[in-house]
Amino acid sequence: MSILVCGGAGYIGSHTCVELIEAGYDIVVADNLYNSSEESLRRVAKITGKGIPFIKTELCRTIMENFDTPDVVAGVATGAIAQGALVADAMGLPYIYVRSSPKDHGLENLIEGNLTIGQKVIVIEDLISTGQSSLKAAEAIRAAGAEVVGMVAMFTYGFPLAEQRFKEAGIKLLTLSNYDALLEVALQTGFIDKKDIATLQQWREDPGHWAPHRDNTIE
């Protein structure tokens, strides 16, 4: 199981990486290096004897292992614009991003960047919740005459509604991590107790209608 460590190149983040690796976990680091350095990760690798992959590396690996090489990489605004750009740069591919709604000025574009009919597009997303906004972006790409070969995201809650929507849309979704992995790590690190798992799983089944009960709230 891989754990996503956000800010993993910083002081606290790098120490967290060491602890997780020594506890037997595989990790993936997301860090914009604004107030940190890759040197921290090189030191982590030296201490633990394991290399530290970045988000863009794992997203690229997932694409290359599961899809034919796309013609274009698309990021979903706004959360996945940066990740999509990093993937496109690493793979040497053209990049576009899809807005949630058209601009209210200028050309009123929904898609920013060059996209031509028939091109194969891989969509990059940060988080999958209900899947509505992610699939709206995919629909915009299809409406422009291009083919969506799949979608790769950092995390999914695994909501049944989202899974059904992706199935109906005929789009293969792959993620680097998910809600089950989150619960497993939270349990192993003592952040939650075993008795909390049932409540958290119930919430995931129907979050829109879920309500806490006095006997199953998380302390």
- From CA 104, how far away is CA 107, in angstroms rounded? 8
pLDDT tens digits along 34-67: 888 889 999 999 999 998 888 888 999 999 999 9
Pairing assessment for the beta strands 95-98 and 111-112 based on DSSP bridges:
antiparallel
Please answer whether residues 153 and 179 qualify as being in contact, where contact means their C-beta atoms are separated by less than 8 angstroms.
no
Question: From CA 219, how far away is CA 92, in angstroms rounded?
Answer: 48
Is the pLDDT confidence value at 105 over 70? no
Classify residue 60 as exposed, middle or buried by CB count within 10 Å of its CB (0-12, 13-18, 19+): buried
pTM for this model (two decimals): 0.83
pLDDT surpasses 60 at 219: no
What is the average pLDDT score of the chain?
90
Q: What is the pLDDT of residue 108?
A: 62
User: Residue 3: is its pLDDT beyond 90?
Assistant: no
Cβ-based neighbours of 160, under 8 Å, separated by 6 or more: 205, 206
Q: What is the pLDDT of residues 130-161, one digit of tens each?
A: 999 999 999 999 999 999 999 999 999 999 99
33-40's contacts with Cβ under 8 Å and 24+ in sequence apart are 33/9, 35/10, 36/7, 36/9, 36/10, 36/11, 37/9, 38/9, 40/9, 40/10, 40/11, 40/13, 40/14
Question: How open is the CA angle 151-155-160, to the nearest 5 degrees?
Answer: 80
List for the chain the helix, strand, coil content (%; round to 5). Answer: 40, 20, 35
**β-strands 111-112, 120-128: how paired?**
unpaired
